[in-house]
Structure 1
Amino acid sequence: MILPRLRRRSSPAPIYDAVDDWLSQTAAEALRRDGFVAVERLFSATEVQAVQTLLDRAFERAMRMPAANALLVCYPADAPGGWDQIELNYAATLAPALLQTAVFRRCTTLARRLAGPGSHAFDHAIYKAAHNRTETPWHQDAAFRRWQLPRPHQLHFWIPLQDVARDGGCMEFLPGSHRRPALRHETVLRASGRIGLVAAPDPAARVACPLSAGGLTIHTPATLHCARANASDVPRRAWVLQFGLFGETRLAAKRLAGSLVKLPVGRLRSRPERPA
């Protein structure tokens, strides 16, 4: 479901108090029925730009820190040294200030209104180059979980950092797919060299969700979704946030297990940051 555009208020109050109850109730109904919802105008241009600046710096840090290379997923371009699509898992590990942004705080508030108690469990940045060739194939996020246990309070937020149309790689969903049995996913070797999972649903009922910068989509882990390659003239940048029960606990366990890079804060802060 794509909600009507919200009227922006001059007050910076989270989620804009005047529409809090309406937004939460309407979005919750759409998530139960369709498995996804698209909302426009939740964030200002300044708030979105703050996220992009931090993500750009996180990518720079990941590329120059050998310990962070495992967090990068790169799809090579035809030109040597370039990239067609680049992704960064656990971006906030390399840019902790992301978790202090208005965008993150507002998403946290909305996630708790929609799904109850929960916290940030994962974040992921995806940059598609202009006129790239890498599609995000149909899949259910739940298929990537190592333990297939239900997570009823899990929600995934997709936040574009610029206007995005269908031919620019906006999110597309199959309404109601979260209420049907999980599809079988085939294992494929992607151009990044990583293993991927791909489903093959009937796409006839697909719903595209073009958005302006400042909007977002929310979906459940069981909702089938995809995104096309970016045929536009500008890069398509997006930040993905996942919220769920014991999210911070799961992140802490990964840190203890050494799965996440440790950021050498003092050393990195001593270096001048290149403007994003």
Structure 2
Amino acid sequence: MTVAAESPRTTPESLSEEVVSAYRRDGFVHLPGVISRADAARFAEAALAARNTVRDHHDGMIFTQLLQLWRHDETLRELTLNPDLAAIAGRLAGIPLRLWHDQLLIKEPHNGAATEFHQDQPYWPHAGSRHALSAWIALVDVPVDRGCMTFIPGSQHLDGLRSQDLSDHADMFTVAPELQWEQRVTVPLRAGDCTFHNSRLAHSATPNLTDDPRIAHVVIYVDADLTLEAEPAHPVTDPLGLTAGRPLPDEHFPPFQ
């Protein structure tokens, strides 16, 4: 049996200024080994168990989405609040950050559906945000045929767009037709690898054509000083009865130092 080699590890101390500059230029960066393969396997096991027990989830053709794992599962809380992961995010963003939410995104075997190009930011009720970014952590190997990510470098500069339909391959290019001809970069990941991407970067994911689930844990970091807007509606903030124009409360959206 062939065992996949461990990826080189990425830590806050090993993160170079060249990598930080590349992230700020392109809107994304691929970092190998943010967690070990052994930890990735442990978190993947917890993720599959959470799929059967956590109530805050959405089952769709494109993926199964489970929200707020850090509030439900001690093992996945460890990953969401990982201080090294947060420190890397802080270096890339260059501002103090807090947690917006985490989510598991599981593409079931042979799901047959791509996650079409979209930005994340239009879905979030944020005001005055200087920067937001997501850490997309592969808990299993994610080659192209299992649902890895594709990015359009530099597209994070597009602001003020409406939300895009994740099931419509043409919708992103309807609101931003200039992106149709831009370079696209597809990034397969080993278990334990991570991509960070800007909340306004256009990105997609391929269908899962394999016999195994694609399991990704996503931690979303936002400007620690942003305030809440009334719209759009959001499943994380709506049940909390928060007031528009106020900062996010630390107990629900913990800040990172």
Range of TM-score over shorter length:
0.7 to 0.9
Counterparts in 2 of 1:127 and 1:142: CA distance versus 1, 3 Å: same
1:133 equivalent to 2:112? Answer: yes
User: What is the aligned counterpart of 1:51 among 43, 47, 64?
Assistant: 43
Q: How far did residue 36 of structure 1 move?
A: 0.7
Does the CA-based 8 Å contact 1:174-1:203 persist in structure 2?
Answer: no
Counterparts in 2 of 1:204 and 1:131: CA distance versus 1, 3 Å: farther
Question: What does 1:1-276 correspond to in 2, within 5 Å?
Answer: 7-8=8-9, 15=11, 17=13, 19-20=14-15, 22=16, 25-62=17-54, 68=55, 71-75=56-60, 85-101=63-79, 104-115=82-93, 116-147=95-126, 149-186=127-164, 198-200=171-173, 201-202=179-180, 204-246=182-224, 256-257=240-241
TM-score when normalising by structure 1 = 0.70
Q: How far did residue 55 of structure 1 move?
A: 1.9
* CA–CA separation in structure 1 for the residues paired with 2:238 and 2:162: 28
In structure 2, the partner of 1:11 is: none
Tell me the SS of whatever aligns to 1:108.
helix
Deviations 1:208-244 (A, max 9, x none): 0111111110011110000011112321110111012
* CA–CA separation in structure 1 for the residues paired with 2:36 and 2:189: 14
Q: Which amino acid in structure 2 is aligned with residue 199 of structure 1?
A: M
Q: How far did residue 110 of structure 1 move?
A: 0.9
Does the CA-based 8 Å contact 2:148-2:189 persist in structure 1?
Answer: yes
Does the CA-based 8 Å contact 2:59-2:65 persist in structure 1?
Answer: yes
Structure number, greater radius of gyration: 1
Segments of structure 1 that go 5 or more residues without pairing to the other structure are 9-13, 63-67, 77-83, 192-196, 259-276
The RMSD of aligned alpha carbons is: 3.2
Q: How far did residue 254 of structure 1 move?
A: 6.3
Tell me the SS of whatever aligns to 2:106.
strand
Counterparts in 2 of 1:36 and 1:186: CA distance versus 1, 3 Å: closer
Q: Which amino acid in structure 2 is aligned with residue 15 of structure 1?
A: T
Counterparts in 2 of 1:161 and 1:186: CA distance versus 1, 3 Å: closer
* CA–CA separation in structure 1 for the residues paired with 2:237 and 2:122: 21
Same amino acid, percent of matched pairs: 27
98-107 or 210-219, larger mean C-alpha shift: 98-107
Does the CA-based 8 Å contact 2:27-2:153 persist in structure 1?
Answer: yes
129-138 or 197-206, larger mean C-alpha shift: 197-206
Deviations 1:56-95 (A, max 9, x none): 2322212xxxxx3xx211126xxxxxxx732112222221
Counterparts in 2 of 1:186 and 1:158: CA distance versus 1, 3 Å: closer
* CA–CA separation in structure 1 for the residues paired with 2:165 and 2:128: 22
Tell me the SS of whatever aligns to 1:212.
coil
Q: How far did residue 166 of structure 1 move?
A: 1.7
TM-score when normalising by structure 2 = 0.74
Q: How far did residue 177 of structure 1 move?
A: 0.4
Q: Which amino acid in structure 2 is aligned with residue 58 of structure 1?
A: A
Segments of structure 2 that go 5 or more residues without pairing to the other structure are 1-5, 174-178, 229-234, 243-257
Deviations 1:177-219 (A, max 9, x none): 012345454558x69xxxxx94124155111011111111001
Does the CA-based 8 Å contact 1:182-1:222 persist in structure 2?
Answer: no
Does the CA-based 8 Å contact 1:38-1:209 persist in structure 2?
Answer: yes
